[in-house]
A and B are shown apart, each in its own frame.
Chain A
Amino acid sequence: GNSVTQMEGPVTLSEEAFLTINCTYTATGYPSLFWYVQYPGEGLQLLLKATKADDKGSNKGFEATYRKETTSFHLEKGSVQVSDSAVYFCAQYNNNDMRFGAGTRLTVKP
């Protein structure tokens, strides 16, 4: 079946540190892959997406590359800011089925 696994949190970083949040998926066929971000007290915001192998999604300094060979879609940012503190969800859409990972809480300290 379809599933998403992302790294356990919480993750705490200092401002300007490099961020990686790992995400792997299992799916039959070729899913679309997403990263959503949820700030405290808010809904989910689409951060970036990729729809086929080797696509790179990017937005606001965040990047993720669709790796079919490793079934991964890791989120990276070169220099995090305090304002990036939030919960990040990896997700896949495949055959009318949207699956979310458990979420990773990121805290960035000044």
Chain B
Amino acid sequence: DTEVTQTPKHLVMGMTNKKSLKCEQHMGHRAMYWYKQKAKKPPELMFVYSYEKLSINESVPSRFSPECPNSSLLNLHLHALQPEDSALYLCASSHDLDTQYFGPGTRLTVL
């Protein structure tokens, strides 16, 4: 089983809202990732958690706040987003730090 699940599938929020994206995997993978993907572009890495510790932060704005409550769960808390933050947000996990398995994504629209 190589399934990574993400909820919600779609999210529409205003610039003053606070919302969270959720990602879950039950493959025992030790690393989990958040990516942002704009239309017709490749994914851009936002955050990496390894053994539940944030190991790489690609200088993402503070209005995005990751959280890793346990080895199976990864959240992305959103606050005061801008319309340009509208994108597909992808979660991925990896056992060996090179092969990454992606979830279906959350399509975020910021009004």
List of A residues within 8 angstroms of B92 by Cβ: 44
Question: A-side binding surface: helix, strand, loop or mixed?
Answer: strand
Q: Is the CB of B97 within 8 A of A43?
A: no
Segment of B38-46, B59-67, B68-76, B78-86 engaged in the interface with chain A: B38-46
List of A residues within 8 angstroms of B99 by Cβ: 32, 34, 46, 49, 93
Count of chain B residues with a beta carbon within 8 Å of a chain A beta carbon:
22
Known contacts: A43-B90, A44-B90, A46-B99. The answer to whether A100 contacts B56 by CB under 8 A is: no
Query: How many whole Å from A101's CB to the nearest CB in chain B?
Result: 7
Q: Is the CB of B97 within 8 A of A96?
A: yes
Q: Contact string, A75-102, partner B, CB cutoff 8 A, digits 1/0?
A: 0000000000000010001001010111
Neighbour of A45 across the interface among B41, B42, B45, B102, CB < 8 A:
B102
Q: Is the CB of A43 within 8 A of B98?
A: no
What 8 A-B pairs come out closest when comparing CB atoms? Answer: A100-B42, A93-B98, A43-B102, A44-B102, A43-B104, A32-B98, A43-B105, A43-B103
Give residues in A with beta carbon < 8 Å to B. Answer: 32, 34, 36, 41-46, 49, 51, 89, 93, 96, 98, 100-103
Other A-B pairs beyond A32-B98, A93-B97, A93-B100, 6, CB < 8 Å: A32-B99, A43-B90, A43-B102, A46-B99, A46-B102, A96-B56
